[in-house]
Chains A and B, each alone.
Chain A
Amino acid sequence: MTELYLANAQKLKDQSNAGAEEWLDIHNFVNVNVCLVDRSQNLKLPYRFKLYDKFKMPRNLSNSLSYEECCERRATELYEKSKQLNLPLYVFYSGGIDSTLVLISLMKAIPENDWSRIVVVMSLDSIREFPEFYYKHIRGKLEIVSSENMSMFFNKKCLIVGGEHNDQLFGTDVISNLQSKIPFETVFKDYDKDTIMRYFIEHKMSEKSSSLWFDIVDDNAKKAPCEIKSVHDFFWWLNFNYKWQAVFFRMLLRVDKQYRHLIDQDFVDTHFHHFYSEEYFQVWAMTNKHLKIRDSWDSYKFHAKDLIYKYTGHKEYRDFKQKANSLHKLFIAKDTPIALTSNYEYLYKVDTNELYVPENDFIKE
């Protein structure tokens, strides 16, 4: 029986499947290129998605490390793995906050005389996004290769290190949708149905599915192992709980045809690493909501930016750098399949009837 890890939501649209339209409507708010999957396993989706084992929601929130400690630990683990397998670290670098911090963490964890095991996968856009970092910290110090043909690195000859999941830890990419629509002070107020529904409807969700999705997330939030209280918390949880899996797999979905036969569980376990995926990062995010945003929209990821500032001394980047959508440039013009199954099969067509789950939580009277 086919189960999916990831799919393009738009391609699963089938009005004959009860509940499907209401489930899909949230993607007007989140993104149509991904599908939301519940890590808390409370929700019955209208299509058969499998939750990746590693992504079950953490329940034990004790022993939380600081964000900096998480970065140090992760960088050290990747360095050890690189030495153990004798494979270089191919770090996908966009010049944005997340990947800059990945590189900095690795450069701090790895002795300078061993920096040759770091290869920076980048483009001209990466230089444009943070020129000072490239010229001062990468150029002449680290090997660089072009990211335009990213698939060729999915060859089991390196350890791929991406910067995904930092947005989910901080809530950025969902929260940033709201920037132009709500006064900043609103994010710290306790969430309520009217407020949340209003934002959903503003993003072209129907009233019915807005109400349904609020109830779903609200019910889920009440069972969450951490407090979900404010408007910010609510949207952070929506991102952190439901979008996590899609974000992990979306790069794999864009691997070119000639390399797909190499993508299997062994590849994912050994060669494919997103820096911010580990459980200790998630525990940090669940126990440190006060460290995600401060007093303005610009302060988003201030904690991450502070660590970058500590290394680079670049004040302007710390104070003003905002999120830029860099992934789409990597994925541009890719002939992307619709879905990835839990057996790592790439699907260009899906049979929505075959995948449909009639007893789902999106059918309401």
Chain B
Amino acid sequence: MKNLNCVVDISSRAILTFTKSYSCAVAVSQGLINTEPLIIPTALPKVTSMAKQFDLINDHLASTPDAWLTSLPKKLITTEYLTRRKLANLRATYIFSLETHLESVTQRGNINFDDSVMMHLIRAHSMCKPEEDYYSYGVIEYANIQNITPKTAYQEIGLMIESCGLIKIRSFAWMQTCIDKINAVTNTNDFVPVWKDCWEIVKRSAYT
């Protein structure tokens, strides 16, 4: 079983929603006062067998201090809790949907290698002074192995950084815009027009 991502009320420890990604939990938590995102380590066998006792969709649950699951005491199942839970669930659904759609945009910014190389490329690139014909060791290494000039390597690496970086920054910016809109909805009836707005943004970004 994978780890469970959720949003927890920090005072009652009530779990308001489970989300499909941790970033979604962070986004939902941003919009709900007195909450925090949390990971329940259900990837661990002991925790898995504990978690399987519960119906994650219908049961009212809470997290324990050591991030296990337990039933939420009945006295804490208040109207306020139920309202927040409903809101959290709806927001999580919409936000995860956005995340998934925008992934197709974000993935365009991936190169054919582990993403972690990007920070090294950025560093190597930024240390160059092409106007003085000075290139950093990283860029020279790339050039030598690729059998191209350092100048060409510098341009090519620059293209990758710019392409990947701008794509990801755009996705991030669009995501923040949409998260803010969704988190501003307090009445569950108001989700539809807000979602329509966000969908326009997604369409423009991902499916022009």
Do A and B come together as binding partners? yes
- Chain A residue, CB-CB nearest to B204: A333
Interface flags for B143-155 (1: CB within 8 Å of A; 0: not) read 0000011001001
Inter-chain residue pair count (beta carbon < 8 A): 51
A331 and B208 within 8 A (CB): yes
Interface residues on A, range: 10 to 19
Complex: A139 Cα to B154 Cα, angstroms: 11
Complex: A336 Cα to B152 Cα, angstroms: 34
Complex: A332 Cα to B171 Cα, angstroms: 10
Complex: A124 Cα to B113 Cα, angstroms: 13
B162 and A148 within 8 A (CB): yes
Residues on B with beta carbons closer than 8 Å to the beta carbon of A149: 162, 166
Q: Given B156, B170, B204, B206, which contacts A144 in the complex, CB threshold below 8 Å?
A: B156
B81 at the interface (CB under 8 A from A): no
Interface flags for A204-221 (1: CB within 8 Å of B; 0: not) read 000000000000000000
Q: Given B148, B167, B204, which contacts A139 in the complex, CB threshold below 8 Å?
A: B148
B158 at the interface (CB under 8 A from A): yes
- Chain B residue, CB-CB nearest to A127: B159
- Chain B residue, CB-CB nearest to A140: B152
Complex: A329 Cα to B156 Cα, angstroms: 19
B170 and A333 within 8 A (CB): yes
Interface flags for A320-346 (1: CB within 8 Å of B; 0: not) read 000000001101111010000000000
Most buried by A among B111, B148, B159, B205: B159
B159 and A145 within 8 A (CB): yes
A124 and B163 within 8 A (CB): yes
Residues of B116-162 at the interface with A, using a CB-CB cut-off of 8 Å, are 148-149, 152, 155-156, 158-160, 162
**B176 CB → nearest A CB, Å:** 13
A333 and B205 within 8 A (CB): yes
**B168 CB → nearest A CB, Å:** 11
**A115 CB → nearest B CB, Å:** 13
B199 at the interface (CB under 8 A from A): no
Residues on A with beta carbons closer than 8 Å to the beta carbon of B148: 139-140
B208 and A328 within 8 A (CB): yes
B158 and A146 within 8 A (CB): yes
Complex: A144 Cα to B157 Cα, angstroms: 11
B105 at the interface (CB under 8 A from A): yes
Q: Given A139, A148, A329, A334, which contacts B152 in the complex, CB threshold below 8 Å?
A: A139
Known: A140-B148, A148-B167, A333-B170. A122 touches B159 (CB 8 A): yes
A132 at the interface (CB under 8 A from B): no
A360 at the interface (CB under 8 A from B): no
A125 at the interface (CB under 8 A from B): yes
**B163 CB → nearest A CB, Å:** 5
Complex: A194 Cα to B94 Cα, angstroms: 45
A124 and B105 within 8 A (CB): no
Summarize B's interface: helix, strand, loop or mixed.
Answer: helix
Q: Given A124, A148, A328, A334, which contacts B111 in the complex, CB threshold below 8 Å?
A: A124
- Chain A residue, CB-CB nearest to B207: A328
Complex: A331 Cα to B205 Cα, angstroms: 9
Known: A124-B164, A144-B155, A144-B159. A333 touches B174 (CB 8 A): yes
A298 at the interface (CB under 8 A from B): no
A230 at the interface (CB under 8 A from B): no
Q: Given B105, B155, B159, B160, which contacts A333 in the complex, CB threshold below 8 Å?
A: B105
B159 and A139 within 8 A (CB): no
Interface flags for A281-294 (1: CB within 8 Å of B; 0: not) read 00000000000000
Residues of B155-208 at the interface with A, using a CB-CB cut-off of 8 Å, are 155-156, 158-160, 162-164, 166-167, 170-171, 174, 204-206, 208
B86 at the interface (CB under 8 A from A): no
Known: A139-B152, A328-B208. A146 touches B105 (CB 8 A): no
**B55 CB → nearest A CB, Å:** 40
**A173 CB → nearest B CB, Å:** 14
Complex: A333 Cα to B204 Cα, angstroms: 5
Residues of A117-161 at the interface with B, using a CB-CB cut-off of 8 Å, are 122-125, 139-140, 143-146, 148-149
Q: Given A140, A146, A329, A331, which contacts B162 in the complex, CB threshold below 8 Å?
A: A146
Residues of B81-96 at the interface with A, using a CB-CB cut-off of 8 Å, are none
Residues on A with beta carbons closer than 8 Å to the beta carbon of B167: 148
Residues on A with beta carbons closer than 8 Å to the beta carbon of B206: 332
B159 and A146 within 8 A (CB): yes
Residues on B with beta carbons closer than 8 Å to the beta carbon of A139: 148, 152, 156
Complex: A139 Cα to B153 Cα, angstroms: 9
Beyond contacts A124-B164, A140-B148: 5 other A-B pairs, Cβ-Cβ < 8 A, are: A124-B159, A139-B148, A144-B156, A145-B159, A333-B170
Pairs A–B under 8 Å by Cβ, sample size 9: A122-B159, A124-B164, A125-B163, A139-B148, A139-B156, A146-B162, A333-B105, A333-B204, A333-B205
- B residues with a Cβ closer than 8 A to A are 105, 108, 111, 148-149, 152, 155-156, 158-160, 162-164, 166-167, 170-171, 174, 204-206, 208
Q: Which 6 A-B pairs have the closest CB atoms?
A: A146-B162, A328-B208, A148-B166, A333-B205, A124-B163, A140-B152
